[in-house]
């Protein structure tokens, strides 16, 4: 109950109503949404989870990660491998998988923060490690190398609910990722209100002043990296068992890392709900663009042979440029203010 209270307290009456209606709509989505809508909605919540993890690092603690796909990918490959090799169900495999993601995060954090004050080294290390791991996985035969790593699924697996093995109907995946994304939101809200959150924000705004107030910079930065990479690792486990196929070129692609940042940038870096809000705008929009192109090709308005794969990213990039130019703090604080979704003085 306390968690729910913590969660609702900043919302105005209007905010609570809107939140409740949205929640009901999203909970009932499987009853009227087509399988296509379900796929998009599942992707939205998945990206919202990854986005929140990224936002925790930069928005809360001031640490820029541009290789977030690494933590997701490590969680995905580790859990998938353990499942295939020794039959470890992902419900248990999530523990070592997340531990490995956290460990790698801590290693990068230690190298980045121990020997240099500036956060630039950390940012560069995240991307360097992501690339490094991608190339390593590319060459490891027992992880499928470039040909990819596949999880066995039978037709029977696509029905029912087997949470321990992450096997079941599309609705199961949808509700699971929704619960994970909303769970992350509650966790973030709790953390932000705790000692940890206060220290992170202080470090984000001015590390030197934070240190003068007795805050051990290395320790609290490491906590941020650990929790963030852990959240990304959980998302990775979900990804592995939702997709059932992992390719280093896709999983560790820098595009995945950039994708992880866009929702937060559009919604508002450092806000609680911004990453989710931003993903809810960008992902359906990207789908709209992709579908629109397919339709135009179908109607022969444009030549079906034209390659327009990059268009979605182009549209996203354009939106991000607009946001950075005109609403640099993101859309969510502005929407909150406009629709009076939060009580005065409370943050979103």
Partner 1 sequence: MVPLLRVEGVSKSFRGLLALNDVSFDVVERGIAALIGPNGAGKTTLFNVIAGVFRPDRGAVRLGGADITGRRPDQICHAGIGRTFQLVKPFAQMTVLENVTVAALHGARSVAEAKAAARGFLELLELDTRAGQHAANLTLPDRKRLEVARALATGPRLLLLDEVMAGLRPSETDRMVATLRRLRDETGLTILLIEHVMRAVMALSERITVLHHGEKISEGAPERIVRDPAVLECYLGDQEP
CB of 102 to partner 1, least distance (A): 24
Task: For the CB of residue 209, give the shortest distance to partner 1 in the complex, in Å.
Answer: 4
Which CB sits closer to partner 1, 216 or 306? 216
Nearer to partner 1 (CB atom), residue 7 or residue 150 = 7
Nearest CB to partner 1, comparing residues 116 and 209:
209
How far, CA to CA in Å, does 291 sit from each of 40, 46, 287, 294, 301?
12, 20, 6, 5, 14
In whole angstroms, how close is the CB of 216 to partner 1 at the nearest point? Answer: 5
Residue number with CB closer to partner 1 (102 or 215):
215
Closest separation in Å from C-beta 7 to partner 1: 16
Please, what is the minimum distance in Å from the beta carbon of residue 176 to partner 1? 32
Within 13 Å and on the Cβ side, how many CA atoms surround 141? 0
Q: Residue numbers of the site for partner 1 (CB under 8 A)? A: 193-195, 198-199, 201-202, 204-206, 208-217, 270, 345
For residues 141 and 214, which CB has a smaller minimum distance to partner 1 in the complex? 214
């Amino acid at each position: 109950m306390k968690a729910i209270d913590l969660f609702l307290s900043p919302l105005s009456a209007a905010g609570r109503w809107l939140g409740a209606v949205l929640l009901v709509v999203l909970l009932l989505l499987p009853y009227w949404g087509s399988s296509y809508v379900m796929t998009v909605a599942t992707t939205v919540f998945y990206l919202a989870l990854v986005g929140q993890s990224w936002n925790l690092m930069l928005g809360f603690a001031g640490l820029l990660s541009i290789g977030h796909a690494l933590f997701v990918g490590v969680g995905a490959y580790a859990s998938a491998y353990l499942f295939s090799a020794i039959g470890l169900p992902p419900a248990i495999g999530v523990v070592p998988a997340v531990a490995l993601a956290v460990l790698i995060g801590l290693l990068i954090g230690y190298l980045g923060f121990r020997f240099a004050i500036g956060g630039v080294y950390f940012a560069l290390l995240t991307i360097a490690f992501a690339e490094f791991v991608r190339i390593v996985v590319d060459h490891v035969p027992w992880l499928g190398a470039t040909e990819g790593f596949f999880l066995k699924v039978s037709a029977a697996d696509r029905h029912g609910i087997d949470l321990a093995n992450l096997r079941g109907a599309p609705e199961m995946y949808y509700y699971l990722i929704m619960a994970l994304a909303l769970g992350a939101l509650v966790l973030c809200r709790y953390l932000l209100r705790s000692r940890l959150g206060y220290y992170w924000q202080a470090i984000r705004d001015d590390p030197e002043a934070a240190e003068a107030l007795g805050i051990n910079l290395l320790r609290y930065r490491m906590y941020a990296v650990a929790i963030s990479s852990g959240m990304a690792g959980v998302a990775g486990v979900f990804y592995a068992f939702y997709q059932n196929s992992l390719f280093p070129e896709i999983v560790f692609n820098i595009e995945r890392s950039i994708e992880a940042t866009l929702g937060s940038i559009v919604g508002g870096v450092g806000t609680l709900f911004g990453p989710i809000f931003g993903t809810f705008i960008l992902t359906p929009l990207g789908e709209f663009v992709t579908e629109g192109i397919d339709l135009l090709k179908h109607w022969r308005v444009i030549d079906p042979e034209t390659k327009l794969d990059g268009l979605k990213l182009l549209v996203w990039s354009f939106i991000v440029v607009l946001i950075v130019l005109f609403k640099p703090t993101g859309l969510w604080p502005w929407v909150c203010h406009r629709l009076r979704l939060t009580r005065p003085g409370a943050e979103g």
